[in-house]
Structure 1
Amino acid sequence: MRVTDGTDGPAARTTAQRPRRGRWLAGGAVALIATVLGLTLALRSGAAPACAAPIRPHTAAALLAPPAAGTLHQGKATFYDSKGAGGNCSYPAAPADRLYVALGPDEYADGAACGGYLDVTGPKGKVRVMVMDQCPECGPGHLDLSREAFARIADPVRGIVDVSYRLVVDPPLAGPLTFRIKEGASQWWFAVLVAGHGNPLRAVEVRQGSSGGWRAASRESYNYWLIDSGAGPGPYQIRVTDSRGHRVIASGIRMAPGQVQRSTVRMYGAASGGSTTTSASPTAGPKSATSAAARPSPSPSTEVPAATPTSAAATSDVATSGRATEEAAALAPASLAAAPPACR
């Protein structure tokens, strides 16, 4: 059981998984011994020591992906309290029913699982929860439920229980879609949070006005969709595609950072928007704390690149996650900034 004291929450969560000690310590020790022996033999023979490759911990290339649809997964569940915050998925607040879950890095998948729903079954019954957060210390199959959700399936005194869970396909009551332009956004740097979609999202595309080409946005690990070079001053049409292939278009999205703009479009169902467009209206909403700071806007003299048309076939292959290289550089330790000298 992970009970927080108020310091836990979206700000306390990180996207870095804690190192798993079991495997790579042994491999690292072997590599270190081999390197030392090799250098010793070279020195004894009088030969100049060759440049040794840096010793790095062994890391498994885990496949990052949300829980597979239609598959019953087995795992365990603990619980925590987000204190009403919207978690690493950057939602302005937790769901009103407070039924949510944090996934480990493998299943959180750099934000690809955000906004999806899981049906979780435990000793006492079943509960449906929305993916809202990341649990950095959780391995595959470890669900960190809200306190309220855990109480639906088990006695909280137990702290940790075995569960089964399944990704919900086309969950009902999803939508309508809402859009939130990030603080610091402008016509030269675009970032939008899409919510109310039900199934996990696969792609978000933006275009200025109602004509011209669509520009693909890339999803950041904190669940905003970015176009680094901007999308113009707006208003925008935003085309949203989910993991089940549903695609809708919302129009009239304004450059209004910090405001939640509610559309009438739903991703699927009798009331879905289909391929039609609808104007979004602003609704008041609290500002979201995210793991990335707002970027400063370039000067007005910066030229906005022309939109690049995207074919329907290419749309399905749009990358659904990506980390900003500038953020990676900013987070890198100073000791790694300079490359080691080349072997001579």
Structure 2
Amino acid sequence: MASASHRRPRPARKRRTALLATAVVAAVGLVVCLVVALRPGGEPDTVRTAAAPDASSRPSARTTAGEPAPAGKTKPAEGKSSSASPSRTAAPATPSARPSPVATPRSPARPASGTAPLAGRIQPGVTYRGVATHYDAADGDGACSYGPSPDLMVAAMNHTDYETSAACGAYLLVRAANGASVTVRVTNECPLPCAPGQLDLSKEAFAKLAGLSAGRIPVSWSLLSPGTSDTISIRYKTGSSRHWCGVQALGHRNPLARLEIRTGGGWQRLTRTEYNYFLSPDGTGCGGPLRLTDIHGQRLTVDGVTVRPDVVQPTRVQFARVT
């Protein structure tokens, strides 16, 4: 009995020890909470991280390819390298960029479309800068295969801007730094090392801007849609027949973008050569109706032009003037 009564007080001592430990832990926890609450920026670190803006949610400074450009801004022309382009109005690299003052855009009246959707490197309404040199143009003929020119106000376009004869027949207003100007027609190609933006003028045209002894002068130039009473003519190349033909348009007011022939399935576009003929290698459409399209999208249909090689056959049509 004595031993049993001696063991009973021990559970009470354990309970008191447990209560004391609990009180100590609670007091320590209270002190920690007070320290956290009273320190600068007392909110937990995890809360601050969640409140910071996520880098992936920030607006991008780039325009995604294929996304409409911001209103009033011009998207860079696709597939165009700035190192290979003539000095013209540069498309803004970012929405806040401004066009280069080197190129001076104009606002000419347009056909119904209001644009030149088929223009290549040389765009209407843009002033380009480069240099002018001169050469002996002889009778004015050249890589465009037009034959003798009615006057010698002609130019050879640099290889890059010649663009596989796309520049052939284009009328250009060329201005020198002294204020002199001359209108020329592109009839030839100036091979490399003629740089983008460079024009090789006939001696007669160069003399309108400066003395021939100058040799090389800075110029600006832009595309023209001249006033003329002439109509377009068609010529078939030497060797053309019903089985193979090359077709050429002459005297077009605006640069020619396409030449098509009519087939049983509709209009078929012909491939343009560097010597400015459009080829039908299997004879399809040779001697049939033709459709001409300028860089502004204007279309002209020509009927009744037979296959007569090397004969210039006048038509009664001409592209409308764009001023």
Q: 1:91 to 1:174 in 2, by over 3 A?
A: farther
| Residues in 1 aligned to 2:135 and 2:246: alpha-carbon distance in whole angstroms | 29
Aligned counterpart, 1:160? 216
Aligned counterpart, 2:132? 77
Q: What is the letter of the counterpart of residue 227 of structure 1? A: S
| Residues in 1 aligned to 2:240 and 2:273: alpha-carbon distance in whole angstroms | 15
Q: Secondary structure at the match of 2:239?
A: coil
| One of 267, 276, 279 as aligned partner of 1:223 | 276
Q: CA deviation at 1:124?
A: 5.0
Aligned residue pairs total: 207
| One of 304, 313, 316 as aligned partner of 1:261 | 313
Residues 166-193 of structure 1: CA deviation (Å, up to 9, x unaligned): 111x322164011110011111112111
Matched, 1:143 2:199: yes
Q: Secondary structure at the match of 2:164?
A: helix
The Cα RMSD (Å) is 2.4
Larger Rg: 2
Q: What is the letter of the counterpart of residue 90 of structure 1? A: S
Identical columns (%) = 37
With the length of structure 1 as denominator, give the TM-score of the two structures.
Answer: 0.56
Q: 1:203 to 1:185 in 2, by over 3 A?
A: same
Aligned counterpart, 2:186? 131
| Residues in 2 aligned to 1:233 and 1:127: alpha-carbon distance in whole angstroms | 38
Q: What is the letter of the counterpart of residue 248 of structure 1? A: L
Aligned counterpart, 1:100? 154
Residues 239-283 of structure 1: CA deviation (Å, up to 9, x unaligned): 10000111111110011011011111111159xxxxxxxxxxxxx
Aligned counterpart, 1:205? 260
Contact 1:174 1:198 in 2 (8 A): no
| Residues in 1 aligned to 2:201 and 2:180: alpha-carbon distance in whole angstroms | 14
Matched, 1:249 2:305: no
- Runs of 4+ aligned structure 1 residues displaced above 3 Å come to 60-66
| Residues in 2 aligned to 1:184 and 1:203: alpha-carbon distance in whole angstroms | 22
Contact 1:174 1:197 in 2 (8 A): no
Q: 1:127 to 1:142 in 2, by over 3 A?
A: same
| One of 237, 242, 258 as aligned partner of 2:289 | 237
Q: What is the letter of the counterpart of residue 139 of structure 1? A: A
| Residues in 2 aligned to 1:204 and 1:157: alpha-carbon distance in whole angstroms | 41
| One of 227, 247, 258 as aligned partner of 1:172 | 227
Contact 2:261 2:286 in 1 (8 A): no
Aligned counterpart, 1:327? none
Contact 2:226 2:321 in 1 (8 A): no
Contact 2:140 2:151 in 1 (8 A): no
Contact 2:85 2:121 in 1 (8 A): no
| One of 95, 119, 139 as aligned partner of 2:173 | 119
Contact 2:156 2:188 in 1 (8 A): yes
Q: CA deviation at 1:212?
A: 6.1
| Residues in 2 aligned to 1:61 and 1:239: alpha-carbon distance in whole angstroms | 35
Q: CA deviation at 1:154?
A: 1.1
| Residues in 1 aligned to 2:226 and 2:321: alpha-carbon distance in whole angstroms | 10
Residues 268-308 of structure 1: CA deviation (Å, up to 9, x unaligned): 159xxxxxxxxxxxxxxxxxxxxxxxxxxxxxxxxxxxxxx
| Residues in 2 aligned to 1:231 and 1:207: alpha-carbon distance in whole angstroms | 8
Contact 1:216 1:227 in 2 (8 A): no
| Residues in 1 aligned to 2:252 and 2:233: alpha-carbon distance in whole angstroms | 9
| Residues in 2 aligned to 1:143 and 1:85: alpha-carbon distance in whole angstroms | 15
Q: What is the letter of the counterpart of residue 100 of structure 1? A: V
With the length of structure 2 as denominator, give the TM-score of the two structures.
Answer: 0.60
| Residues in 1 aligned to 2:83 and 2:215: alpha-carbon distance in whole angstroms | 31
Contact 1:78 1:159 in 2 (8 A): yes
Q: CA deviation at 1:67?
A: 2.4
Q: 1:249 to 1:233 in 2, by over 3 A?
A: closer
The within-5 A match list for 1:12-23 is none
Residues 186-230 of structure 1: CA deviation (Å, up to 9, x unaligned): 11112111111121111111126xx76222111111100111111
